[in-house]
Structure 1
Amino acid sequence: MKPFCFADGQIIPTEKAIIHPMDLSFIRGYGIFDFFRTVNFQALFLDNYLDRFLASAEKTFLPLEYSRAELKAVIQELIEKNHLKEGGIRMVLSGGISPNHFSPAKGKLFIFAESLIFPAQEKYEKGIKLLSLEYVRPIAEIKTTNYALAVWDSMRWKDADAEDVLYHLNGHVSESSRSNFFIVKDGVISTPDAHILKGITRKHIIELAGDVKIRPISMQEVLNADEAFITSTTKVLLPVTQIDEHKIGNGKPGQVSLGLLDKFKALEKGICY
């Protein structure tokens, strides 16, 4: 965590940021957040992330007293004050202190600046393994702070040499715990259409690919895919070469996946340099 954050309406030393222990974020796990990267001192795709954060606040009935312009000004000041050339910005809106300890209330807005570590290069070169998990995130279209199941389940990932999970229910897949999911079959790219967070990296990968099928995807299709990959802010695009003990395609990152990763890097460079 970087030295300065935004809390209580001002930029303060990060260690001085506080929240009441009866806030719904603590006692009910109710709150929202968003996270984006800075590249060359610029917030990457900032308007897209603010669109989602503002929509999440509205959908979760959490008052947000800052305009888009005010949020942008705070974020830019934090980037400069923390000298955050390459890093991350985390916005958190808590559930608030509720009179009945249950209903959404007026929460606190925090904006933190963070260091960022990308996955090891080896994972891009060899691909990663996901573990299947029967689950659908509640209100998946909103980026809530409720990651309880994934945090609990993550204790088994290391032993299984897995990067993350792939959620599925009733025979259809949705997403990873912190990423969107894609498959490639016969050159056609597909991604799930339901029970997902509409990721910002997902959005730009779809635009770069040009013809992505957004539709229900069965687990059997995943296992028969030529390629698979996940996308997220912090991973960008990671090839998936194994689900449980099943090899995807030839067990190596595919040309479609790697080509899209190169296109995304070129897009990022064109925006921020």
Structure 2
Amino acid sequence: MSESYCFLNGKIIPEKDASLPLSDIGILRAFSVYDGIASFEGKPFLFQNHYERFVRSATALGIAIPYSNEELYEALCEMLQKSHLTERANIRAVATGGTTIAGIEFKPENSTIFFTAVNFVPLPKEFYETGAKLITHEYKREFPEYKTVNYITGVLLQKRRKEAGAVEILYVKDGHVYECATSNIFIVKNGELVTPHKDVLPGITKKLVCVLAMKEGIVCREGDVSVDDLFAAEEVFITSSFKDIVPIVEIDGKMIKDGKKGLKTRQIMSLVQNYLDSRQGLDLQTRV
């Protein structure tokens, strides 16, 4: 089995040799941000988009990212090659505030930055072929437009998700639909794609879907989505860097339309898969 490497504070080292101080504020106070990036053929996918989101999340918390996009792109390519992750892989990026001051403060310039990667493990084929289920939970993330490491609610709900045979947990609150624990959501309403726009993470795959759809003449817009809209939708699907496009045919035991993967969802799945197969988005210049 190949040895796994990681990027830690400017160095690429074997993962088994990596460590963080117990006084890191990311450990003591969960004060850190996160990003998830797909890679293909040993290169991060749409890295410019992910880098910008990573920096935006870190900046919101006052955490410094002391590396340029070029430096991190080259480092990740080297890390993936050393780990022999030359097929599809999942990269996880974390930035913390570094060593604490008196257990509660930090210096922005003392940030801890690390990246790890593992082989991509796809969801069961039937989720893509015949559709998957969601369960809902009344919740809205704190700092929802930034990708922090606060996944406490999502982690605690995994047992319930598995018992329900669901692929994801959908966060709703006060009659509004927001996002899933690790995915964005779209509905099809009057033949148009609609995705929540407020108090949600600006997903990279979500953005790719909108760009590709509009090029094909499919209307795609961001707007408010109510729970009533959700259950009245013609189609529903979710998007994620680690899942791509997953059709949703049932939510909380209620069937969406006729319970089958819809035409618009099929079109979007095909558009995204063709984009992935073309290996666009693997160079540093490409962004959506």
TM-score band, normalised by shorter chain: over 0.9
Instruction: Tell me, yes or no, if structure 1 residue 185 matches structure 2 residue 189.
Output: yes
* CA distance in structure 2 between the aligned counterparts of 1:206 and 1:23, rounded to whole angstroms: 38
* CA distance in structure 1 between the aligned counterparts of 2:28 and 2:207, rounded to whole angstroms: 33
Q: Check the 8 A contact 1:132/1:167 in 2, yes or no.
A: yes
SS in 1 for 2:237: strand
* Greater Cα offset, 167-176 or 152-161: 152-161
* CA distance in structure 1 between the aligned counterparts of 2:19 and 2:102, rounded to whole angstroms: 22
Unmatched segments (≥5 aa) in structure 1: none
Measured after TM superposition, the shift of residue 215 of structure 1 is 0.6
Q: Write out per-residue CA displacement over residues 128-152 of structure 1, whole angstroms, 9 at most, x where no aligned residue.
A: 1111111100111111111001101
What TM-score do you get using the length of structure 1 for normalisation?
0.95
Q: Check the 8 A contact 1:127/1:238 in 2, yes or no.
A: yes
Q: Which residue of 2 aligns with 1:266?
A: 274
* CA distance in structure 1 between the aligned counterparts of 2:150 and 2:3, rounded to whole angstroms: 24
Q: Which residue of 2 aligns with 1:101?
A: 103
Instruction: Tell me, yes or no, if structure 1 residue 91 matches structure 2 residue 99.
Output: no
Q: Which residue of 2 aligns with 1:116?
A: 120
5 Å-filtered alignment, 1:21-170, equals: 21-85=22-86, 86-105=88-107, 106-170=110-174
SS in 2 for 1:88: strand
Q: Which residue of 2 aligns with 1:245?
A: 253
* CA distance in structure 2 between the aligned counterparts of 1:15 and 1:82, rounded to whole angstroms: 12
Unmatched segments (≥5 aa) in structure 2: 283-288
Q: Which residue of 2 aligns with 1:171?
A: 175
Q: Judging changes above 3 Å, is the alpha-carbon distance between structure 1 residues 209 and 104 closer, same or farther for their aligned structure 2 residues?
A: farther
* CA distance in structure 2 between the aligned counterparts of 1:228 and 1:111, rounded to whole angstroms: 32
Q: Check the 8 A contact 2:232/2:256 in 1, yes or no.
A: yes
Instruction: Tell me, yes or no, if structure 1 residue 15 matches structure 2 residue 16.
Output: yes
SS in 1 for 2:238: strand
Measured after TM superposition, the shift of residue 2 of structure 1 is 5.6
* CA distance in structure 2 between the aligned counterparts of 1:92 and 1:62, rounded to whole angstroms: 11
* CA distance in structure 2 between the aligned counterparts of 1:76 and 1:162, rounded to whole angstroms: 34
Aligned residue identity for 2:204: I
Q: Judging changes above 3 Å, is the alpha-carbon distance between structure 1 residues 201 and 80 closer, same or farther for their aligned structure 2 residues?
A: same
SS in 2 for 1:159: helix
Measured after TM superposition, the shift of residue 104 of structure 1 is 4.2
* Greater Cα offset, 173-182 or 162-171: 162-171
Q: Check the 8 A contact 1:61/1:104 in 2, yes or no.
A: no
What TM-score do you get using the length of structure 2 for normalisation?
0.91
Measured after TM superposition, the shift of residue 229 of structure 1 is 0.5
* CA distance in structure 1 between the aligned counterparts of 2:44 and 2:89, rounded to whole angstroms: 9
Aligned residues: 273
* CA distance in structure 2 between the aligned counterparts of 1:2 and 1:236, rounded to whole angstroms: 27
Q: Check the 8 A contact 1:199/1:232 in 2, yes or no.
A: yes
Q: Which residue of 1 aligns with 2:241?
A: 233
Aligned residue identity for 1:35: G
Structure 1 segments, 4+ long, off by >6 Å, are none
Q: Check the 8 A contact 2:80/2:117 in 1, yes or no.
A: yes
* CA distance in structure 2 between the aligned counterparts of 1:42 and 1:23, rounded to whole angstroms: 30
* CA distance in structure 2 between the aligned counterparts of 1:212 and 1:60, rounded to whole angstroms: 31
* CA distance in structure 2 between the aligned counterparts of 1:122 and 1:271, rounded to whole angstroms: 25
